[in-house]
A and B are shown apart, each in its own frame.
Chain A
Amino acid sequence: MDDHDAEENGISNNLPPEANGTGALETPQPPGADAAEKDFKKEPLCTVMEISVSESERRYNGSMNLTEYYTAYLIETRVTEPTFGGALSRQGALWRRYSEFETLAGYLGEAYPYVVTPPLPEKRASHVWQKLATDPFDSEFIDRRRVGLEDERDWKEIVTGTGYLEKVERQLKSLNATIRVKKGDSRFDELLTYGRELETHLSNVLRSRARLTDATYAVRRQHANYGRVLSQWSAVETQMGDGLQRAGHYMDAHAASIDTFVEEEEVYIDQLKEYMYYAAALQAVCHKYTMRQYQLERLDDTLSQLSQRRENALQGKPSLMWRLLGSVDTDEVREMKVADIDQQVADTEQQIRQHTEQLSEFVEKALEDVQRFHSRKVKDLRETIVNYMKLQIRICKKGLQTWRHFRDCVDSLEGQPPPVPPPQEIGSP
């Protein structure tokens, strides 16, 4: 999992503490936990502490090769709830690199399969105007989880010890296979469709907007040409020189101002991108449901097969031998076989019971988390769109100001009187 990030210094991304009220979260608890702490363990971490990814640093691998570097991010935590006496210290800071975030994301996706897990940001910047400074992380991602932060040193061992990697691989393989379930919960079908739609829509919007910003950027920068020509022209003019020169400067300013706006726009676009990945995560939950439902149905199939075999065994007709030789089992053998099958039936029924219980728990929790996701999504996207509009308003204001200045310069062109009085006109010969 080596990553050679092209990112350089990250931008500080402080997370305001949010009282989400998103509901309880079950975490695997060691028995005998302190009664006072139990309350806090049911709440999302963000209600009791501030977590932020505040800095980034380039670090080099052990070798002397300077091209092998990675970027490490500083995670700072500060406990805000005074009565919280958990395992975490009051104020903590530790460095993690991107691959570790990926590991955490993978683990959480496996340990809490019913949750729509927030996505990690991309590794690389992809647009012309983006300088290498991209905001690395959505630290809201971190705020709902506590597991990874408990023990710094042993974290990796704990996580990899759960064998989640194998499970993740198995899952990835299963995602690729098309699985048909006979009677799945239609809510998940709807959810899957919605997830796909959301992903498609956001991807279209993002693509369209990217092209639009490319074009807008080009148009703006062309105004620098106006600036240059006006400036050169002013050198040739006597009366108009001053005004043209100043007008040219405003054109230069107009061209230059687009940079900061585009940078800001990227922040909002990143938020949209996040939801595109969220939509993919939503689809993943649906797939997980389908998987489980499929497994349950297979168990049911196994059960009905077993009862058929029991029938056969009772009659002493193991299929193959009976067809070939027409011989029939002895009573003893018959009883043994039936008992054996009965055992299998019992096991299978046990499995089915467990599985059904897990499945319904999954469904309940998943649908709950989906609700949470929806309300979060509405809030976030609304905020993003409004912020985007506000940015456009600011761009308008700035543009207006610049062109008004330009207009003032132009108005001053005629202001001064001509330098020399006109000579006498003589009629043509």
Chain B
Amino acid sequence: MASPTMATLDVTQEAAVKPSVLNLADESSMIDEVNNSQYIATPSVASVSWDDLDPTDTRDLQIKVDDPQKHVTSMETYITFRISTKTSRAEFDDSEYSVRRRYNEFLWLRARLTEAYPTHIVPPLPEKHSLLGQLDRYQRDFIRSRMALLHRFMNRVADHPVLSCNDSFKLFLVSKPSEFAVHRSRGRSVLNRVSESLHGLTTAGVQSRSPEIQRVLDYAEKLSDKLTALEKASSRIHKDKTVMIGEMQRLHPTLTLMSASEPELGPLLRAAAGAVSRCAAAEQAVTDAQPAQLEQPLREYVLYAEAIREALGRRDAVQAQFEATAAEIQRKEAERAQVNAGHAPSGLSWVFSRATPEALKAEEEKLGKQLHQLKVDLESLNDRLECANSNLLADMERWEKLKVRDISQLLGAMGDSQINFYEELGAGLAITAGRRSLRGSSEQREERQSLL
């Protein structure tokens, strides 16, 4: 299945290498934004430019997601992202790879991972549609935020000791389009269908959970609430700040105009206008950094809370199976006891035949075989359940550590950005207000002291 690309619209301005049909100029800065984005923090979600190697990144598998491009075919229009891989792992033939994938293919990958590791917490993908539901799929902000979250997803998987060894993951990273299409269309495995149907089981299907597991579930719900509230608060601040910046920009020319008709006050007024304008620019910089610094990481963790609940759901399914089997064994035991006591077991087939000793013996044997099988099943289910529980709890441990680091980095970035803002602004203002040329000569000395 070749990828039918009638025309590739270059969404970026990397036109030097590729022949571009159309340059959408207003999308051109997206690649710069990814490279310069300020959510570089820990290596696991770092946005690294391969041109300048990040010396602190010592991982043996590094992945970068960038360069969104729009593809137009007769059937559909979609966007692909470039996945660049750098690795020193033995199972990879080369040390560098570069492929293009679209969102649906990420969904496929995640489905494979949850199928292979049902009781692990598989990192989340960005949602199919934007929250507002009205944003165009091709709109710049939406694409930017989707790409950032895809980048995070890939790195989370790469850093996971278990998930990163998965074959589908490797295929995703290295396959050429044709090979990859083959793998994708291979058909769903039976296991996949089964696990999907199990996934449909609600958490109410289990009788009771162990306290630790229950704690995890409760926590995931509450975390989701709080982070969503934080998202809302930050988006409102973003909006209000934009209004405020607009007003600052309007104040600047007002002061400048006035300075034109005031000979003595002119310099001071112009200095004030300059200060206002600098303030507006500084605020704009802080606001611009907010999506990458704050909103995208928050969104990821909201989605993570959902992913945890999914993993719990799958674990619950195993427990439900276990409990169902146990219940079945109880029923069969009761039947066997009845048969042993010489009574005919209840059931339609016995209504019309006589409960002869031979029939009863046959029944008892049958039941015995069933029970034996059930008990074997129960053993293995028990193992599976214990496995599931400890996998989940271990993964939670790992995730908890990541979470603390990521949250402290997220909030830290917020704090740093504000600290920088106030430091620079304060210094600029102090210089302006302290300038001799702007002040009356008599006030200089006394007032300059109080400033510094």
Interface residues of A (CB under 8 A from B): 194, 197-198, 201-202, 204-205, 208-209, 211-212, 214-216, 218-219, 222-223, 225-226, 229-230, 232-233, 236, 239-240, 243, 247, 378-379, 381-383, 385-386, 388-390, 392-393, 396-397, 399-400, 403-404, 406-407, 410-411, 413-414, 418, 420, 422-429
Binary per-residue interface labels of chain B (205-237) against chain A in the complex, 1 for a CB within 8 Å, 0 otherwise: 000000000000001001100110110111011
Check A205–B433 contact: CB distance below 8 A. no
The distance in angstroms between the C-alpha atoms of A400 and B265, with both chains bound, is 30
Closest-CB distance, A221 to chain B (whole angstroms): 9
The distance in angstroms between the C-alpha atoms of A152 and B18, with both chains bound, is 91
Closest-CB distance, B140 to chain A (whole angstroms): 25
Partner-contacting stretch, out of B1-9, B59-67, B251-259: B251-259
B374 at interface (Cβ–Cβ under 8 A)? no
Check A410–B244 contact: CB distance below 8 A. no
Check A410–B411 contact: CB distance below 8 A. yes
Chain B residue numbers with a CB within 8 Å of A198 are 261
Chain B residue numbers with a CB within 8 Å of A423 are 390, 393-394, 397
Check A236–B248 contact: CB distance below 8 A. no
Check A233–B243 contact: CB distance below 8 A. no
Given contacts A208-B250, A219-B240, contact A386 B433 (CB under 8 A): yes
Partner-contacting stretch, out of B29-37, B104-112, B145-153, B399-407: B399-407
10 A-B residue contacts at CB 8 Å?
A: A208-B250, A208-B251, A211-B250, A218-B243, A393-B426, A406-B411, A411-B408, A413-B404, A422-B398, A424-B394
Among B407, B447, B450, which residue has its beta carbon within 8 angstroms of that of A240?
B407
Check A428–B416 contact: CB distance below 8 A. no
Closest-CB distance, A232 to chain B (whole angstroms): 6
Binary per-residue interface labels of chain B (406-424) against chain A in the complex, 1 for a CB within 8 Å, 0 otherwise: 0110011001101100110
B451 at interface (Cβ–Cβ under 8 A)? yes
Closest-CB distance, A343 to chain B (whole angstroms): 51
Binary per-residue interface labels of chain B (117-158) against chain A in the complex, 1 for a CB within 8 Å, 0 otherwise: 111100000000000000000000000000000000000000
Check A247–B411 contact: CB distance below 8 A. yes
Check B269–A385 contact: CB distance below 8 A. yes
Chain B residue numbers with a CB within 8 Å of A225 are 229, 232-233, 236-237
A375 (CB) vs chain B CBs: closest residue: B264
Check A215–B236 contact: CB distance below 8 A. no
Chain B residue numbers with a CB within 8 Å of A427 are 162
B241 at interface (Cβ–Cβ under 8 A)? yes
Among B248, B258, B275, B391, which residue has its beta carbon within 8 angstroms of that of A428?
B391
Among B246, B268, B405, B430, which residue has its beta carbon within 8 angstroms of that of A385?
B268
The distance in angstroms between the C-alpha atoms of A382 and B197, with both chains bound, is 76
Chain B residue numbers with a CB within 8 Å of A247 are 411
Chain B residue numbers with a CB within 8 Å of A428 are 116-120, 162, 387, 391
The distance in angstroms between the C-alpha atoms of A382 and B272, with both chains bound, is 11
B439 at interface (Cβ–Cβ under 8 A)? yes
Chain B residue numbers with a CB within 8 Å of A425 are 161-162, 390-391, 394
B55 at interface (Cβ–Cβ under 8 A)? no
B19 at interface (Cβ–Cβ under 8 A)? no
Chain A residue numbers with a CB within 8 Å of B234 are 226
Chain B residue numbers with a CB within 8 Å of A209 are 251
Check A418–B415 contact: CB distance below 8 A. no
Check B250–A399 contact: CB distance below 8 A. no
Check A212–B397 contact: CB distance below 8 A. no
> Number of contacts between A and B (CB, 8 Å)?
186
Check B387–A393 contact: CB distance below 8 A. no
The distance in angstroms between the C-alpha atoms of A378 and B432, with both chains bound, is 18
The distance in angstroms between the C-alpha atoms of A382 and B223, with both chains bound, is 53
Chain A residue numbers with a CB within 8 Å of B451 are 390, 393
Closest-CB distance, A50 to chain B (whole angstroms): 22
Chain B residue numbers with a CB within 8 Å of A429 are 383-384, 387
B247 at interface (Cβ–Cβ under 8 A)? yes
B119 (CB) vs chain A CBs: closest residue: A428
Check B240–A218 contact: CB distance below 8 A. yes
Chain B residue numbers with a CB within 8 Å of A424 are 390, 394
Check B265–A381 contact: CB distance below 8 A. yes
Among B227, B247, B440, which residue has its beta carbon within 8 angstroms of that of A212?
B247
B215 (CB) vs chain A CBs: closest residue: A238
Given contacts A407-B416, A413-B408, contact A389 B425 (CB under 8 A): no
Which B residues from 362 to 413 make CB contacts under 8 A with A?
383-384, 387, 390-391, 393-394, 397-398, 400-401, 404-405, 407-408, 411-412
The distance in angstroms between the C-alpha atoms of A428 and B162, with both chains bound, is 9
Check B223–A236 contact: CB distance below 8 A. yes
Check A208–B223 contact: CB distance below 8 A. no
A219 (CB) vs chain B CBs: closest residue: B240
The distance in angstroms between the C-alpha atoms of A225 and B238, with both chains bound, is 13
Chain A residue numbers with a CB within 8 Å of B243 are 215, 218
New A-B contacts (15) at CB < 8 Å, excluding given A201-B258, A385-B269, A400-B426:
A212-B250, A215-B240, A222-B233, A222-B237, A233-B227, A379-B440, A386-B439, A389-B429, A390-B450, A400-B419, A407-B412, A410-B408, A410-B415, A414-B404, A426-B390
Among B116, B162, B430, the one with the most A-chain Cβ atoms within 10 Å of its Cβ is: B430
Chain A residue numbers with a CB within 8 Å of B226 are 229, 232-233, 236
Among A194, A407, A410, which residue has its beta carbon within 8 angstroms of that of B261?
A194
Check A215–B257 contact: CB distance below 8 A. no
Chain A residue numbers with a CB within 8 Å of B275 are 389, 392
The distance in angstroms between the C-alpha atoms of A385 and B397, with both chains bound, is 57
Given contacts A215-B243, A222-B236, contact A201 B229 (CB under 8 A): no
Check B429–A219 contact: CB distance below 8 A. no
Closest-CB distance, B294 to chain A (whole angstroms): 11
Given contacts A222-B240, A236-B223, contact A201 B247 (CB under 8 A): no
A223 (CB) vs chain B CBs: closest residue: B237
Check B418–A399 contact: CB distance below 8 A. yes
Chain A residue numbers with a CB within 8 Å of B116 are 428
Among B383, B407, B411, the one with the most A-chain Cβ atoms within 10 Å of its Cβ is: B411
B218 (CB) vs chain A CBs: closest residue: A236
Check B432–A389 contact: CB distance below 8 A. yes
Check A403–B415 contact: CB distance below 8 A. yes
Chain B residue numbers with a CB within 8 Å of A208 are 247, 250-251, 254
Check A204–B407 contact: CB distance below 8 A. no
Check A201–B401 contact: CB distance below 8 A. no
The distance in angstroms between the C-alpha atoms of A386 and B258, with both chains bound, is 16
The distance in angstroms between the C-alpha atoms of A247 and B410, with both chains bound, is 13
Check A378–B237 contact: CB distance below 8 A. no
Check B397–A418 contact: CB distance below 8 A. yes
Chain A residue numbers with a CB within 8 Å of B265 are 378, 381-382, 385
Chain A residue numbers with a CB within 8 Å of B229 are 225, 229, 232
Among A214, A382, A411, which residue has its beta carbon within 8 angstroms of that of B439?
A382
